Amino acid sequence: MSIRERFSGIWLISMTLLALLAYTVFFVAQMWLNLLFALYLALVILQGAALVIYMWGPEKLKARPRKILYRLLYASSFLVVPCFIFIFTGLVSQYHVRIPDAIDAQGMPAAEILPMEETTVYNTGTVYVIFPEYGRIDLVCEHRPPKSDAAITWCSGAAFQHTVSIGFTQENVEGDHAVSGVLYESPYNKKSFGAFTFADGKFSFAFDDAPGAVRKAAEAGGSGFMQFALIRGGRTVMDFDRPRARCYRTLAELNGNVCIIDSVNMLHFDAFMAELHRLGVTNALYMDMGAGWNYSWYRNAADRVVTLFGLPVPWSHNWVVFRR
C-alpha cells in the first residue's frame, strides 16, 4: 500500500469520526434546525460509505459510475471540518460569558436590586440581573442592530420565528408585533403568549389580551412583541419541561422595573425559576436561548460593548433593543 493510500485511509477514518462527533454534539445539544440536522446526518452516512468502500478496496470498482460515486463521497469529507467548526462554535455560544464588573448580590436583599443611572448588572450567584440604561425600548426587525450605535445599551433576540429562513418577512415572526408605531399581525399567535410593549415612555406586560396590547402600543407610536408568558403576577404560568441544563433568559419586571435576567451558568429550568421567585419577579416573558438565537450584548457604564453570546445566525431577524 502506497503512502498516498495510507494517508487517504487515515483521512477517511478521521473525517468519519469527526462527522459522527459533530452529529452527536448537534443531537445532544438539541440544536433542532431541520436543514442542519439532515446535513450532519448525511455527512455521517457519506463518510461511513466512503470508509466502507476504502476498506473494501476502491481499486475493485470497475464501472465508471461507481468510481465517480466514490470520488464524490471522498470529496464530501472536506466539508466535515468546516461543519464541525460551525457546530462547535454553536455549542460554545450556549455558555454565558462571565461579567466581572457585576455587583455581587449574593447576600443582598432582593428589594435592593434596583437600576441606577447607568446600565447596571447584579450577580446573585445563580443569575445576572441586568438593568440597561434606557429612554425607550424598541423592536427591530430584519437588520441586526449595530454595536457601533452608541445609543443602544442592550440588544438580544426577541420573538420566535415560525420557520428557519435566510430571507425575512414580517409574517414569519410569531405573534403580533409593533415596530415604532407600525402594527404587523401574525398568523401564528399562541394562547400561551404574553406581550411586552413600550409606548408613551412606559413599559408594560400583558397576558389576557396580548394582541390587543400590541395594537394599542402601535397606535401610540410604540413597539411590542409576543413571547411565551413565564410569570404573571408572581405566579408561574409556563409549563416548560426541560430536563437538561442550559442557559436561560427572561425579560422581566423586578421591583417595578424592567430588566433582563440571565442564568450565570448552565442550569436546570426549575433552578432558574426558583431563583426568579426568590427575587420576587412580578412579570416575565421567556426569551429563547438556543444556540445562535441567544445573540446578545450590552453597553456597560464605561460605554464599552460587552458581548454575552456572540454567534449571530443569518436566520435570526428580530431583536429587542434598549436605547438611551
HEC-encoded secondary structure of the chain: CCHHHHHHHHHHHHHHHHHHHHHHHHHHCCCCCHHHHHHHHHHHHHHHHHHHHHHHCHHHCCCHHHHHHHHHHHHHHHHHHHHHHHHHHHHHCCCCCCCCCCEECCCCCHHHCCCCCCCEEEECCCEEEEECCCCEEEEEECCCCCCCCCCEEEEEECCCECCCCCCCCHHHECCCEEECCEEECCCCCCCCEEEEEEECCEEEEECCCHHHHHHHHHHCCCEEEEEEEEEECCEECCCCCCCCCECCEEEEEECCEEEEEEECCCECHHHHHHHHHHHCCCEEEEECCCCCCCCEEEECCCCCEEEEECCCCCCCCEEEEEEC
Same domain, 113 and 259: yes
**Residue 153: inside a domain:** yes
**pLDDT above 80 for 293:** no
Q: Would you state the pLDDT for residue 95?
A: 61
Confidence category of residue 309, pLDDT binned at 50, 70, 90: confident
Q: Would you state the pLDDT for residue 306?
A: 93
Same domain, 54 and 120: no
Give the residue-averaged pLDDT of 245-249: 82
Percent of the chain with pLDDT over 90: 53
Give the residue-averaged pLDDT of 244-263: 91
**Residue 97: inside a domain:** no
Same domain, 86 and 34: yes
Same domain, 112 and 54: no
**Residue 98: inside a domain:** no
Q: Would you state the pLDDT for residue 140?
A: 96
Among residues 92, 123, 140, the one where a domain terminates is 92
Same domain, 120 and 39: no
Give the residue-averaged pLDDT of 100-129: 95
Same domain, 108 and 150: yes
Q: Average pLDDT, whole number, for the chain?
A: 88
**Residue 167: inside a domain:** yes
**Residue 121: inside a domain:** yes
Among residues 69, 92, 115, the one where a domain terminates is 92
**Residue 134: inside a domain:** yes
Same domain, 305 and 193: yes
Give the residue-averaged pLDDT of 282-297: 83
- Better-predicted residue by pLDDT, 84 or 177: 177
Same domain, 113 and 70: no
Q: Would you state the pLDDT for residue 243?
A: 53
Total structural domains within the chain: 2
Give the residue-averaged pLDDT of 257-263: 96
Range of the domain at 304: 103-323
Same domain, 179 and 280: yes
**pLDDT above 70 for 213:** yes
Confidence category of residue 34, pLDDT binned at 50, 70, 90: low
Among residues 73, 92, 111, the one where a domain terminates is 92
Same domain, 128 and 274: yes
**pLDDT above 60 for 29:** no
Same domain, 107 and 85: no
**pLDDT above 80 for 33:** no
